[in-house]
Homo-oligomer: A and B are copies of this chain.
């Protein structure tokens, strides 16, 4: 297939139908053009590479499209923003050309959950599938990593660890088909993020980060940026209503806790607040000093997912 043809088919999938008075020029020119913007604009970029972020041995092209989209949407939400537009750059080898439209549909499906429109991008040939998305959104009050204050509480939108537990099940080709195991697999393959829950929490948050690399390492990023320490209460994770499900998917309590503390790619909202009862899980305290503590004991922050070269 030639580029013009692929481009035409991909654009047809991304066609957003209804008009948008804020979008002056959409897909199909050298660039897209947005109208004047009275609110602040938030921008983020997230790339996913075959064999690193996803694996077609267990992910469908549609799931990969959903997952990389979710990672970008979560970045915008972690700034206290709401996503509006995507630029999507795709590189793929000839062997993948039969699946590229499924990948595009995955992106489109996730976008439709929050009303995001794909307004541009690029296509290239490559040897491995690479998806790079830039997300554009609006934000009233940016929520930064640096906003945590001593005495506030640490919250997370849901119990973390399911993505890591799912990845372990997939890697070991486990035949565990329990609902808990299948939920964990899905959390890794195409997480079902509750963007509305994220949005409703913004008014309560003093700092926030998307948990892409793991609870401890992402908490340490808030701590470093805010010049504070964070004490995570392990019992709060273990007592979370979903912990038994995570334990069942992980095979042991120990492994479940390891996933909850260090597993990446959940794309939950980890945040600090002086409020309570806004639907998040309370899991710790912002304290004086620096670094991350587990029940008062200082812990290393080198766990969690990091690329290395």
Contact = CB atoms under 8 A, between A and B. Distances in A.
Interface in A28-62: 28-49, 51-53
A81 interface: yes
Counting chain B CB atoms within 10 Å of each CB, the highest count among A96, A135, A307 belongs to: A307
Contacts of A132: 45, 47, 89, 122, 130, 132
A209 interface: yes
Contact of A130 (B32, B41, B126, B307): B126
B52 A40 contact: no
Interface in A103-155: 119-128, 130, 132, 134-137, 139, 142, 144-146
A281 interface: no
A79 interface: yes
A308 B40 contact: no
A307 B136 contact: no
B134 A87 contact: yes
A85 interface: yes
A47 B120 contact: no
A211 to B, nearest CB: 11
Given A3-B308, A31-B76, A75-B31, A91 B49 contact: yes
A231 interface: no
Nearest to A125: B307
A36 B39 contact: yes
Contacts of A309: 1, 6, 92-94, 96-97, 100, 125
A35 B209 CA distance: 21
Contacts of A282: none
**Chain A contact residues: helix, strand, loop or mixed:** strand
Contacts of A47: 89-91, 122, 124, 130, 132
Oligomeric state, in copies:
2
Contact of A40 (B36, B90, B97, B144): B36
B29 A144 contact: yes
A161 to B, nearest CB: 20
B91 A29 contact: no
Given A33-B142, A44-B120, 18 more contacts: A2-B307, A2-B308, A3-B307, A25-B142, A28-B225, A30-B79, A30-B145, A31-B75, A31-B76, A33-B79, A34-B41, A36-B39, A37-B41, A43-B120, A45-B89, A49-B91, A49-B125, A132-B132
29 contacts: A4-B306, A6-B309, A24-B142, A30-B44, A30-B79, A31-B42, A31-B43, A31-B78, A31-B137, A32-B44, A33-B40, A33-B79, A43-B85, A43-B120, A45-B87, A46-B89, A47-B91, A48-B124, A49-B130, A52-B125, A91-B130, A94-B309, A97-B309, A100-B309, A123-B307, A127-B127, A127-B128, A130-B130, A134-B134
